[in-house]
Structure 1
Amino acid sequence: MARCSHVDAADLRPPAATQAVYREDCTQCFDSIDDPSGLNVCLHCFNGGCTGDRNHALLHNTRTGHPLALNIRRTRKKVQRDEPPPKLTKLAIAAETEEDRYDTTMRVVCYACRDEDVDKSSGRLPTVIDGVMKALTFSKREEVKAWEQEIVPCEHTLCLSQETPEKIEGLNQCSMCDLKENLWLCLVCGHVGCGRSQFGGIGGNSHALAHSNATSHGVVVKLGSITPEGNADIYCYTCNEERTDPELAAHLAHWGINIAEREKTEKSLMELQIEQNLRWEFSMTSDDGKELQPVFGPGFTGLKNLGNSCYLSSIVQCLFSLPEFQTRYHRPDEVPPETRSPAEDLETQLRKLADGLLSGRYSKPDSDVISVPDSTEVPHQKGLAPSMFKHLVGRDHPEFSTMRQQDAFEFLLHLFKLISLSRHPDRSLNPVNNFRFCLEQRLQCLSCGKVRYKVDEQDNISVQVPARPIADSGTGSGESGTSYESVTLKECLDIFTAEEVVEMRCPGCNSQDGFRKRSLFRTLPQQFVINARRFHLINWVPTKLNVPIEVSDEPLDLTAYLSEGPRPDEELLPEEETPVVTFTPNPAVLEQLLSMGFPQVRCEKALQATGNNDAEAAMNWLFAHMDDPDIDQPIAPSSAQSGTSQQDPEKIAQLGEMGIDAARAAKALAATGGDVNRALDWVFSHPDDPGDDAADSDTAQGEAQEPPGTASTPARYQLQSIVCHKGSSVHAGHYVAFIRKKHPTTGEPSWFLFNDEKVVKMDNVDEMKQHAYVYFFTRV
């Protein structure tokens, strides 16, 4: 057999430390190395492609021309039950490795030579294959990176100023109570106080926090967490975040503590949080104690928990149960979008997720689970690992890029924004459009009676849940303490739309008496998202109040909350003149640019165009606009209606792909310093603004866009799904989704629990509806 000529190619080299290696699952579907035909990893760019019916590996070869791929196939080892266990010689727990659980086979494929088994020892293949197999997989690499960036120093730990050392009487008891665990040492003055009681059920009276509030000393260390290697829990009350202290040994020595002699005696905050999150388990049994049976089929696929990722899973399950997301992203008969990096393309990853959840291909019992003989219990499914999707939507975000538990509702809003910013073949195909509506704010002067209307475009509402404690119900707060009277969702909506008095100066009569303010709906959406705000700050910690909300199974009628708009007998307030805005460059960044030799006028223009806070972005803008005819013309003072024509055409085009005309896009960019994300928010919050009034703007002279939503009546909404949170803190606990769907076998509408990879039918969800955090309603 002739030797493959491609094994000596110049671009054939091992993956660099910063390169992602996709050797777990396909970048365009959830087929993986555990499938019978295995996964082909491109040896040129390390993309992972499936080799089954869809054959995304061949598609990758066709689009890139990369000839060589490493086929990796993994099979579960059979467990021998007839052999006695090995004799224990020491007290130790050996971690089970991948080699202990699986057999892995490899072969090299060359698409150009049509060779299915290239000699792995030829050419550059040995070093490249070795590099691929030793490199961290994509998901593990991103997980490590997320944990590494999790805890960092802050200015208060880096610039810690310690008082004159005094002898500390005792390190084994709180100086303000009798607690002898969960003790925190103030690194500023040496005070020893107990911590909060929220973490993992550990006792605490927050005396360390009380000391910080009284003295403004921010940095503390948990005494029981200190190790001889220099690790410890450091908390900064000023930042209200866990931090690191690069000079911990010296700072402890200042108070007579030799770090080399310390021994870790208590769990760290991260260990407590992970342990607590693992404990949260929504009941998987029926009222009579029987285990709820798993459900399988299209639309009943679970998602594996990647470590505090249940907030993502619950929101994704709710969204992909809706026809808008199913129609938009589940396209099994279409070829995947052409992109250089499928794992970095949002459209590709949303289609991959839709296929995984809706096709039913992966919704089957976990074959790796060993059932008890004669047992009728069906094992749950393995669940899909949405690693690429989680990395992509969380990338560069200060919260969602971490491994911490996050707020599910905030994630929903973040995902909506990313989807709206992404490319859509037609604006009508953006699934977020069906969530949008117009909220009208009416202001009426208490003195002259004149009114003003403002309409904002939104895709959700957050309603405050009134908390009325039941007398003698307890002394605590949050989930385990005080009980609260139940409220109805209608009461929450009544509060949301109720009149209130606000302090404002009237531009019509100059009165300072204030305004009567009320919000109603100008239009309502097809899909209505309501967030129930139960979290309140208790001792500066976001704590959930367990207030039940009664939600009927009958459709919710929102007709009464629709506005009729301005009345004929009302006198409108005059519009306030738009103030002239003079651009003021950031002095520190301007000085950086001037030191590079750029003229001041050009530096100021670059800062105005790039957000006024990033020297590198401004410098790149300067290089790209050196030949502009007006580059040396001074910046003229502008109003919100002017200066729009100077905006970056690429940003205008990006907003145009979302259906926003050039005039409105330019005005939005001008009003937000050229920031595309903020410009998108500006457009949504100014739906009636036509944009640039310039006479030569063809788009501005066109027809105004129709406002989102509809004002038709009756406006009746059926509860479609809910996201529930178990736990007292937004940074801990567990999220699950309950979704109303047709049963895969009977076809009857039923409620189903999506608890990470577990999917089961629920007979009674009334209690869960009372304690939901996010409600998804569908117009009927």
Structure 2
Amino acid sequence: MNCAHLESLSLRPPTASQQVYKDDCTQCFDSTEAPSGLDVCLSCFNGGCTSEFPGHSKLHYAITQHPIVLNIKRTRKPIKRDDSPAKIAKLAIPAETDEDRYDTVTAVKCLACNGLELDKHSDKVGSNLADTVKGVMTSLSSDKQSEVKAWEEEISPCEHTLCLEQAEPKVLADQELAHCSQCDLKENLWLCLQCGALGCGRQQFGGVGGNSHGLAHFDQTQHPVSVKLGSITPDGTADVYCYLCNEERQDPNLAEHLWHWGIKISERQKVEKSLVELQLEQNLKWEFSMTAENGEELKPLFGPGFTGLKNLGNSCYLASVVQCLFSLPSFQKRYYNPDCDMPILSEPATDFETQLRKIAYGLLSGRYSVPSTDDHFQAGIRPATFKAMVGKNHAEFSTMRQQDAFEFLLYLVETISRANRKEAENDPTKCLEFISEQRLECLGCHKVSYKSDKQNNISVSVPVRRLDKQSAEDKDAFESVNMRECLDIYTQPERLDYTCQSCGSRDGALKRTAFKTFPEVLIVNARRFEIINWVPTKLDVPVVVRDEPFDLDQYFSQGIQKGEELLPETSDSAETKFTPNEGIMSLLEGMGFPVARCEKALYNTGNADPDSAMNWLFAHMEDPDIDEPLKIDSGNESVNPSEASPEGIAMLTDMGFTVAQAKKALKETGGDMERAVEWVFSHPDDDGSEDTSAAPLGSTDSAGDGTLPATYRLHSIICHKGGSVHAGHYVAFVKKTVEDNKKEQWVLFNDEKVVEGGDVDEMKKFAYVYFFERQRS
């Protein structure tokens, strides 16, 4: 059918770099599976819901005047449960396509003509309609583009793969490659590229067997580089592991190194899952118990506030943090609107405020909390656009790798606080802020100093007391610790190396941290780590936390006392110009690193990244002055690596940005040059002027409440299962009122599954992050 609006347009198919939002609406979570489908704008490829409410497709048209849309509607195909599975001769890795799962119907409509349906196959000169429709349907969606890009891990070569020296060449016979040289295992086989020995790998998730004979070969020979035979593809990719680096690596000369042993790479076929695929499968399938103590399956919950977040592959860390934050009243008040009101923007997918409101509406409205057609759990909402938006300027959170939930929590809180800087009174993270006070007492003259800092969390050390083993084969077991003991340790006096500027004494000083004010919500990170062979290892030390309210009054700072004499002010000293990030300092100290080393690591790596600081520590362990206190060159007193360096400013101004923009970009990104460039491009309207209406974290203006009593009760927890915070699985438990019985009870958020809490007392003992809510009389 003819349409004047179509004839006036010159449509173009999406380019490879353009984002096509065809999975769900950019302003709510209505998807192509909604009864009336999803409208994709054929001018800018925005996705909009088609229902009368919220009606974001029509809103997008009203803002942009882009009239022509492609309506995509999908319905799930029924699962044929009687079909016998096809016989598979070798381990195969089939990829299920959308065509396998859905029936898809499309239609082109003109919103300016009240939804008039047009001929989607039209080849009318100038409109390019047919090509544009084809381009939308065949392109990767925005979500898929982000996932594919993020999964391209930065696996790089190392000196051992680049400088590999191989023994005398020989052709390995088929029988030599058929099984491990030390046992009968025929899969998970690793070929030493240096000498041609074949050994089985370590046991892996999914029932993949292994007796670690490949590792034993390395221990005996120190030959570092091996390749997994079953992962080799004809195009030259494979799992290559360096035992000396203890990391997966890239071998640029893999084909040549394999041919040295008579293996022609073009004739190989991949018959086993790669390490990345196994990790992805592990994180998708790693479950917390979904049964109660009596063996019955936990009851699924539905309705407002009981919506799950679908796992995107390795996003359980994000889901657990988001569920805890958006269960807090301040976040609900700030971002949730039952009418799904959104900022009036032409590109909502790239607006942080919109994506936060979208997440809030998705989680709290109850609109998407309904049983799935496949089972009695819900399908959950996909936080793909939100994840891409939050992590786009961060080297780690923009990937699909598993991350530390506590680090992500700090990053997300900081990002939200920064976004609300111009309207500080509406900042939902204010409920987390409080003022801590450090009291320093010289042990020579007993003069004191007091320093206040604004914080939004504390990290407490969990004391490790091992129980006696019955036999050498038994795993380590630990004595239970009470949360009160952890808080006692956090606030107890600590002896420091110190040279007094008043009396000159080098006897040291006592430092004690206490609360000057208390937050509405106190976040506590329980550090259960020990450095074993220079590797931070997680320990399962149980921490007992009661549901009953408890007070923190004993940790309240009384300030300067009668008779105390203050130490002279040292604010002009060069050594006070650098203030280490308290949260990262706590993490590093909890892993066993001395204070002086932590401060140096943070100073030299920009004061904003725990991974960089840890890498610096490992690289400088042998420095002769590593344990000496941090000293800053007096010629550079005003330089703080967390802010703007002259070199960084020069580089950005050479690119055409103003000095003010350069300074602000470097300050907002912790001095990271690459992120600073991305920050400037993503904030084109920011002229670099400083906003003085909101105090930055670290200043002590109006944070928390100094009245007593300070009584708290456990509100939610983030739990982790696995040997490392960068692997395994995260879930959240939140205390909520359930409509069925009008009672408050624990609710488990395990990705998309939302169920009654089950054995919460046991999970509380091993929680990684605790949220305590202040109780008001």
TM-score range, shorter chain: 0.7 to 0.9
The 1:58–1:651 alpha-carbon spacing in structure 2 relative to 1, beyond 3 Å, is same
Is 1:564 aligned to 2:558, yes or no? yes
Q: State the distance in 2 between where 1:181 and 1:536 align.
A: 34
Deviations 1:305-347 (A, max 9, x none): 1111111111111111110110000023363112332111111
The 1:213–1:55 alpha-carbon spacing in structure 2 relative to 1, beyond 3 Å, is farther
Q: State the distance in 1 between where 2:575 and 2:467 align.
A: 54
Deviations 1:383-412 (A, max 9, x none): 111110111111132211111111111110
Q: State the distance in 2 between where 1:58 and 1:23 align.
A: 16
SS in structure 2 at match of 1:145: helix
Per the alignment, residue 714 of structure 1 pairs with 709
1:139-538 alignment to 2 at 5 Å?
139-148=143-152, 150-154=153-157, 156=159, 160-163=162-165, 165-166=167-168, 203=210, 208=215, 220-222=226-228, 225-236=231-242, 241-253=247-259, 259=265, 267-333=273-339, 335-369=341-375, 379-423=376-420, 426-472=423-469, 475=472, 481-538=475-532
Per the alignment, residue 548 of structure 1 pairs with 542
Q: In the TM superposition, what is the alpha-carbon distance from 1:427 to its structure 2 partner?
A: 0.8
Worse-matched range after superposition: 97-106 or 572-581: 572-581
Q: State the distance in 1 between where 2:475 and 2:392 align.
A: 38
The 1:310–1:618 alpha-carbon spacing in structure 2 relative to 1, beyond 3 Å, is same
Amino acid at match of 2:150: A
Is 1:727 aligned to 2:722, yes or no? yes
Asked if 2 retains the 8 angstrom alpha-carbon contact of 1:365 and 1:382, the reply is: yes
Deviations 1:203-234 (A, max 9, x none): 5669859969997x875544564455422222
Amino acid at match of 1:68: I
Deviations 1:224-254 (A, max 9, x none): 6445542222235676543322222234456
Asked if 2 retains the 8 angstrom alpha-carbon contact of 1:459 and 1:529, the reply is: yes
Deviations 1:33-90 (A, max 9, x none): 1111211111100000111121111111111121211111122335678xx8589698
Q: Calculate the TM-score normalised by the size of structure 1.
A: 0.78
Is 1:684 aligned to 2:669, yes or no? no
SS in structure 2 at match of 1:382: coil
Asked if 2 retains the 8 angstrom alpha-carbon contact of 1:212 and 1:218, the reply is: no
The 1:78–1:198 alpha-carbon spacing in structure 2 relative to 1, beyond 3 Å, is closer
Q: State the distance in 1 between where 2:687 and 2:211 align.
A: 52
Per the alignment, residue 695 of structure 1 pairs with none
Q: State the distance in 1 between where 2:649 and 2:471 align.
A: 53
SS in structure 2 at match of 1:242: strand
Q: State the distance in 1 between where 2:421 and 2:226 align.
A: 50
Q: State the distance in 1 between where 2:760 and 2:489 align.
A: 26
Worse-matched range after superposition: 166-175 or 32-41: 166-175
Per the alignment, residue 750 of structure 1 pairs with 745
Asked if 2 retains the 8 angstrom alpha-carbon contact of 1:520 and 1:561, the reply is: yes
Q: State the distance in 1 between where 2:185 and 2:329 align.
A: 55
SS in structure 1 at match of 2:388: helix
Worse-matched range after superposition: 222-231 or 743-752: 222-231
Count matched residues. 678
Q: State the distance in 1 between where 2:481 and 2:550 align.
A: 15
The 1:32–1:610 alpha-carbon spacing in structure 2 relative to 1, beyond 3 Å, is farther
Is 1:619 aligned to 2:654, yes or no? yes
1:571-586 alignment to 2 at 5 Å?
571-576=565-570, 577-579=572-574
Q: State the distance in 2 between where 1:650 and 1:346 align.
A: 15
The 1:80–1:143 alpha-carbon spacing in structure 2 relative to 1, beyond 3 Å, is closer
Q: State the distance in 2 between where 1:213 and 1:36 align.
A: 64
Q: State the distance in 2 between where 1:213 and 1:347 align.
A: 57
Q: In the TM superposition, what is the alpha-carbon distance from 1:420 to its structure 2 partner?
A: 1.1
Asked if 1 retains the 8 angstrom alpha-carbon contact of 2:157 and 2:252, the reply is: no
Q: In the TM superposition, what is the alpha-carbon distance from 1:266 to its structure 2 partner?
A: 5.8
Asked if 2 retains the 8 angstrom alpha-carbon contact of 1:43 and 1:128, the reply is: yes
Amino acid at match of 2:480: S
Q: In the TM superposition, what is the alpha-carbon distance from 1:519 to its structure 2 partner?
A: 1.3
Q: State the distance in 2 between where 1:6 and 1:350 align.
A: 34
The 1:747–1:222 alpha-carbon spacing in structure 2 relative to 1, beyond 3 Å, is same
Asked if 1 retains the 8 angstrom alpha-carbon contact of 2:660 and 2:689, the reply is: no
The 1:613–1:165 alpha-carbon spacing in structure 2 relative to 1, beyond 3 Å, is farther
Q: State the distance in 2 between where 1:684 and 1:272 align.
A: 40
Per the alignment, residue 27 of structure 1 pairs with 26
Amino acid at match of 2:134: D
Amino acid at match of 1:776: F
Asked if 2 retains the 8 angstrom alpha-carbon contact of 1:76 and 1:368, the reply is: no
The alignment's C-alpha RMSD in Å is 3.8
Q: In the TM superposition, what is the alpha-carbon distance from 1:550 to its structure 2 partner?
A: 0.6
Asked if 2 retains the 8 angstrom alpha-carbon contact of 1:68 and 1:109, the reply is: yes
Asked if 2 retains the 8 angstrom alpha-carbon contact of 1:294 and 1:759, the reply is: yes
Amino acid at match of 1:717: Y
Amino acid at match of 1:235: Y
SS in structure 2 at match of 1:612: helix
Is 1:128 aligned to 2:132, yes or no? yes
Q: State the distance in 2 between where 1:571 and 1:31 align.
A: 65
Q: State the distance in 1 between where 2:443 and 2:195 align.
A: 54
SS in structure 2 at match of 1:426: helix
Unaligned runs of 5+ in 2: 578-603, 605-638, 662-683
Q: State the distance in 2 between where 1:389 and 1:177 align.
A: 48
Q: In the TM superposition, what is the alpha-carbon distance from 1:103 to its structure 2 partner?
A: 2.2
Worse-matched range after superposition: 359-368 or 85-94: 85-94
The 1:734–1:426 alpha-carbon spacing in structure 2 relative to 1, beyond 3 Å, is same
Asked if 1 retains the 8 angstrom alpha-carbon contact of 2:731 and 2:751, the reply is: yes
Q: State the distance in 1 between where 2:293 and 2:430 align.
A: 40
Amino acid at match of 1:22: Y
Worse-matched range after superposition: 720-729 or 507-516: 507-516
Q: 1:736 aligns with which of 731, 742, 762?
A: 731
Per the alignment, residue 61 of structure 1 pairs with 61
Q: State the distance in 2 between where 1:357 and 1:736 align.
A: 16
SS in structure 1 at match of 2:48: strand
